[in-house]
């Protein structure tokens, strides 16, 4: 009997938006960020991400700066509010249907995202996927820092993080099915047994002519 594992990128794959960008806009909306240029800089950095050129340390130094003096519990409460009020409504209809079907069939699912763990896990819980891997951050005095802990789940790091997770499980999976939109996930697409490209970016779409790769149009 086969034991498949379904692995999902989060932003622009399960959610028809970038959750980190929604989160940063939420921080401005809440008055936590007062810098008038914050959103423009976020958009510039996300443009680099889309091209596969983002320096993750630079991005985290930028995006975590507004939270430097905020206790973890306060950050987590804001994240939960943001997910409920701004993110859940952006879920692709097809991802809702697929998650429901996989849960009904008792098939394991994992989210692996290049967003920070506290955001990825909050979204994953509400989508019904409690196993959610993101970029872990060093914590200091009950605060999140911008320093990466361990291997970041970004580009080739996603393959490493997934393999680390698999090694810690008490079951063997017969095949890995991976869903993503981004060229940053090319390595994990190639590593998986089956890849599903959800509204893929042009750079990823250019690689799509491979066995067991499928292009999906979700809305």
Cα first-last separation, the chain:
33
Alpha carbons within 13 angstroms on the beta-carbon side of residue 35 total 12
Query: Whose CA is closest to 146, among 37, 60, 205, 52?
Result: 60
With a cut of 80, say whether residue 175 has pLDDT above it: yes
pLDDT in tens, 114-123: 999 999 999 9
With a cut of 90, say whether residue 47 has pLDDT above it: yes
The Cα–Cα gap between 112 and 132 comes to 6
Query: Whose CA is closest to 68, among 142, 145, 153, 158?
Result: 145
3-state secondary structure of 122: helix
pLDDT of the residue at 36: 87
Q: How many domains does the chain have?
A: 1
The Cα–Cα gap between 157 and 151 comes to 6
Q: Which domain holds residue 12?
A: 4-216
Contact 110, 129 (CB under 8 A): yes
Say what percent of the chain tops pLDDT 70.
100
The Cα–Cα gap between 70 and 50 comes to 29
pLDDT in tens, 123-145: 999 999 999 999 999 999 999 99
Structure tokens at 69: 């003096």
Confidence of residue 31 (pLDDT cuts 50, 70, 90): very high
CATH number at residue 24: 3.40.50.1000
Q: Determine the length of the chain.
A: 219
């Amino acid at each position: 009997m086969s034991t498949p594992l379904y692995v999902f990128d989060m932003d622009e794959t399960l959610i028809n938006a970038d959750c980190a960008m929604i989160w940063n806009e939420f921080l401005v909306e809440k008055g936590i960020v007062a810098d008038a240029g914050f959103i423009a800089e976020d958009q510039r950095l996300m443009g680099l991400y889309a091209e596969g050129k983002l320096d993750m340390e630079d991005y985290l130094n930028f995006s975590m700066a507004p939270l430097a003096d905020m206790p973890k519990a306060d950050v987590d409460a804001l994240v939960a509010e943001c997910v409920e009020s701004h993110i859940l409504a952006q879920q692709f209809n097809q991802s809702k249907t697929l998650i429901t079907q996989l849960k009904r069939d008792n098939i394991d699912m994992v989210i692996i995202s290049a967003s920070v763990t506290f955001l990825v896990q909050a979204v994953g819980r509400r989508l019904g996927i409690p196993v959610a891997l993101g970029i872990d951050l060093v914590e200091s005095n009950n605060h999140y820092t911008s320093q990466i802990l361990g291997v970041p789940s970004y580009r080739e790091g996603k393959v490493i993080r997934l393999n680390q997770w698999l090694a810690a499980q008490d079951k063997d999976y017969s095949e890995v099915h991976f869903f993503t939109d981004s060229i940053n996930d090319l390595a994990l697409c190639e590593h998986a047994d089956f890849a599903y490209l959800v509204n893929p970016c042009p750079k990823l779409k250019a690689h799509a002519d491979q066995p067991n790769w499928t292009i999906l149009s979700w809305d």
